[in-house]
Amino acid sequence: MERSHPVKSAVDKIIDTVAGGQPAEIPGVPNSEPPSLEEPTEPREPLPPKPDQSGPDTYSPTGQPTDTPRGKMAQGGPYLTTAQGLRVRDTDHSLKAGPRGPVLLQDHHLREKIMHFDHERIPERVVHARGAGAHGVFRGYGAASNVTRAAFLGKDVETPVFVRFSTVIGSRGSADTVRDTRGFATKFYTSEGVFDLVGNNIPVFFIQDAIKFPDVIHAAKWHPDREIPQAQTAHDTFWDFAGLHTEATHHTLWNMSGRGIPRSYRMMEGFGVHTFRLVNEEGATTLAKFHWKPKLGVHSLVWEEAQLLGGVDPDFHRRDLFDAIESGAYPQWELGLQLFPDTPDQMFEGIDLLDSTKIVPEELAPVQPVGLLTLNANTSNFFAETEQVAFHVGHLVPGIDVTDDPLLAGRLFSYLDTQITRLAGPNFPQIPINRPHAPVNDMQRDGFHQTAVHRGVAPYRPNSLDGGCPFTAGADQGAFVEVPVEVSGRKVREAPASYDDHFSQARLFWLSMSPVEREHIVAAYTFELGKCYEQAVKERYLRVLANIDPVLCRQVAEGLGLPAPDASQPLADPSPSPALSQVGQTWPTDGRIIGIIAGDDDAEAVGAVRQAVLDAGMVPLIIAPTGGMLGGTLPVQRTFTTARSVEFDALLVASAPAPGKDAYGARDAKAGGGADSPIDPRVLLLITEAYRHAKPIGGWGAASQVLSQAGIPAQAPGVVVADDGPSALDGTLRFLAAHRVWDRFPAAAALT
Ligand code: HEM
């Protein structure tokens, strides 16, 4: 029996770009058909993909639509073959002279199989190696048409997209939840060629000039002698560099805030960082910064959660993205533009628009929505799509041009350069996920992995032998024409004086944070610097913090056991930007994970609440003493052995389960020391951890008993004990809409 998609048919998924869907089933199913207990023996075609999965659209290597169904890019046929299509009778034994060998050199199947396996790996990205991707649709609102002629931003124009989210520092197999910047790269397959918006979840960068990129990355990655630590900046080389190179201060402060540990890719903003130059039909230009605004709000993990997840579920962000799409909770972002007059000095309100370490506060230049991105399909093959996708800031379309930001200039060189090595040769634009959806006639020829079969004899211009084709186009025929800006200057290795201000916007960020956000920032610096070995590195960085804010500096210094230095220059007095804070509002809870702690005695009430969670567009995971079916009817997703609080956004307590048969330390360390407890100690751990992480907790029936045993006051903020399941859920969701119950742990007086 084929599994059907809970909410959306495959067709809906492609055409439904707005509404998203409601989770209706537990995501995570491995394939489109449940496996049989016995090994299948009847030859059959490969299973169809799961309904949530899609591959790239089927375009030719030269950007022309084909009639090929997507499935035809996958392997087919019921029988195992060689790479040449030859059917194979035995793939378990190499060809030998007698059962004990030796193996014969003539075994072409062995040779081919091992050869291919030996070459399965390709170099990982030099940065942003760890990531996850999804397909989707972008729909323009038409609101940008007065400032840019880019066709994909036109009213109701729908453009297929592929998005890859990533961390920066870690290797391909590193944990998702490390403290780091996140990449947010979007490939728009527009009718005018591919446009890539290769951004981050932080609007500023570590450096102002690309020539320093190798330095900042070498400092942030592992120490070269031992290759530790993996995927984190909590070590001497990073803070050594950051203390000596103070233009990194602003970006580093964002990293130390909740932005460095997002709750989900779905709950991150995205930023193009640089200022771009937009051009409209009349040729008028406007400077612009790109923003992605998540419909679910911007939310973060707390640091202990992030650390636990690194071990409990290193794939936490990947899983969250895949599961949300699979369950129909399609993530959405609005694309927005901040617009600035294209003045000769390229400044706005005193802010240098070519300095990528600076933001323009939204209060000064509001973000104007110009379109909606919906991610509505998972990849069907991670390597073919997510690993082989190749983004490049130089993939532009008419209406969007670059500026002279020196960081952008280096990127314009870097991406193609690195991809030649990573994807082995110059033909990576022909890999299916990279193919444009616009006809390609580029006169590039040959090279490794050439998959186009070109015609003609004259791949040069001018020619007459191929009838003069291809011809260059004018702007009227959709050509990209660089804006003819004046350039002049002396040849120097210098930066403008405005680039010398390294602290005023870091102070702006600090002053814009709520007290609890400041607590987290203090804790993050104290942790990271506390992991450094060298005293000088810590002391030097305290001098940097003193130039952001004396309270921040003093609090971190106290944690490090060091004196707090004074600022070395006058502190700026910027107006706070409320838009930078992540707290104080409410947001939709779509796709959130609700753990329901159940015993064997309450299946009916649990079933009703489970359904209510599904109806509210979230994912209910039943946590019970053992696996199987609760009350014979409800599938159990987690047991007390497998559940850990960090995977849930909120908990509902339906039962007070007595210690399970495996609830003792020798079997499960989580239960250690709690043998005399009337309630399974792992349930108490689950609840106390969730409480500590400021998550909403609701319950009914025996919940009061469980909470009291866990030492949690029933009146504590964000704890809802109700008469029945639906009321408990309602109360809990009110807190979940604000993401966390920050009132539970008030900030210290010094930070309020
Ligand atoms: C505003 C600053 C920057 C942003 C927002 C940014 C963003 C990104 C993102 C999102 C990716 C991952 C792309 C993917 O998912 O495949 C990436 C990869 C990469 N970035 Fe950057 N980056 C920045 C600066 C730089 C600079 C200054 C350089 C070099 C001079 C650079 C070099 C690279 C390289 C080599 C890759 C790997 C690309 C690949 O292997 O396909 N980046 N960057």
Q: What is the pLDDT of residue 18?
A: 32
Q: Is 722 helix (H, G, I), strand (E, B) or coil?
A: strand
User: Do 337 and 31 contact (CB within 8 A), yes or no?
Assistant: no
Number of the ligand 1 atom closest to the C-alpha atom of 408:
27
Number of the ligand 1 atom closest to the C-alpha atom of 207:
27
Number of the ligand 1 atom closest to the C-alpha atom of 273:
1
State the distance from the centre of ligand 1 to the C-alpha of 200, rounded, in angstroms: 9
Ligand 1 pocket mutation, candidates 197, 415, 420, 431, criterion most atoms within 8 A of CB: 415
Q: Using CA atoms, how far apart are residues 288 and 150, in angstroms rounded to an integer? A: 13
| Closest CA relative to residue 243, chosen from 580, 509, 568 | 568
Number of the ligand 1 atom closest to the C-alpha atom of 133:
15
pLDDT at residue 481 is higher than 50: yes
Q: If residue 237 lies in a helix (H) or strand (E), which one and from where to where?
A: helix 236-244
Nearest CA residue ID for atom 21, ligand 1: 411
Nearest CA residue ID for atom 40, ligand 1: 125
In this predicted model, what pLDDT tens digit does every residue of 718-749 receive, in sequence order? 999 999 999 999 999 999 999 999 999 999 98
In this predicted model, what pLDDT tens digit does every residue of 259-305 receive, in sequence order? 999 999 999 999 999 999 999 999 999 999 999 999 999 999 999 99
Q: State the average pLDDT for the chain.
A: 94
Strands (E), 98-130: none
State the distance from the centre of ligand 1 to the C-alpha of 328, rounded, in angstroms: 30
Q: What is the pLDDT of residue 20?
A: 37
Q: What is the pLDDT of residue 752?
A: 81
Nearest CA residue ID for atom 23, ligand 1: 411
Number of the ligand 1 atom closest to the C-alpha atom of 199:
5
Question: Which residues are annotated as catalytic?
Answer: 128, 200
State the distance from the centre of ligand 1 to the C-alpha of 173, rounded, in angstroms: 18
Q: For residue 611, how many other CB atoms are within 10 A of its CB? A: 14
Nearest CA residue ID for atom 25, ligand 1: 411
C-alpha distances in Å from residue 274, one per residue of 138, 202, 208, 727: 21, 11, 10, 48
**Spacing of C-alpha 222 from chain mean position:** 22
Model confidence at 5, in pLDDT bands (50, 70, 90)?
A: very low
Q: Using CA atoms, how far apart are residues 330 and 13, in angstroms rounded to an integer? A: 10
538 secondary structure, DSSP code = H
State the distance from the centre of ligand 1 to the C-alpha of 65, rounded, in angstroms: 30
Nearest CA residue ID for atom 41, ligand 1: 390
Ligand 1 pocket mutation, candidates 125, 166, 204, criterion most atoms within 8 A of CB: 125
State the distance from the centre of ligand 1 to the C-alpha of 702, rounded, in angstroms: 52
Nearest CA residue ID for atom 31, ligand 1: 411
| Closest CA relative to residue 275, chosen from 133, 437, 402 | 402
How, if at all, do strands 347-348 and 53-54 pair?
A: unpaired
Q: How many CA atoms lie within 13 A of 711 on its CB side?
A: 10
- pTM of the predicted model, to two decimals? 0.96
In this predicted model, what pLDDT tens digit does every residue of 580-629 receive, in sequence order? 999 999 999 999 999 999 987 789 999 999 999 999 999 999 999 999 99
State the distance from the centre of ligand 1 to the C-alpha of 49, rounded, in angstroms: 31
The mean per-residue pLDDT over the stretch 633-646 comes to: 95
Model confidence at 49, in pLDDT bands (50, 70, 90)?
A: very high
State the distance from the centre of ligand 1 to the C-alpha of 721, rounded, in angstroms: 48
C-alpha distances in Å from residue 468, one per residue of 409, 439, 481: 34, 17, 21
The ligand 1 site (C-beta within 6 Å) comprises: 125-128, 131, 164, 166, 183, 185, 198-200, 205, 210, 213, 273, 356, 389-391, 407, 410-411, 414-415, 418-419, 422
Number of the ligand 1 atom closest to the C-alpha atom of 417:
35
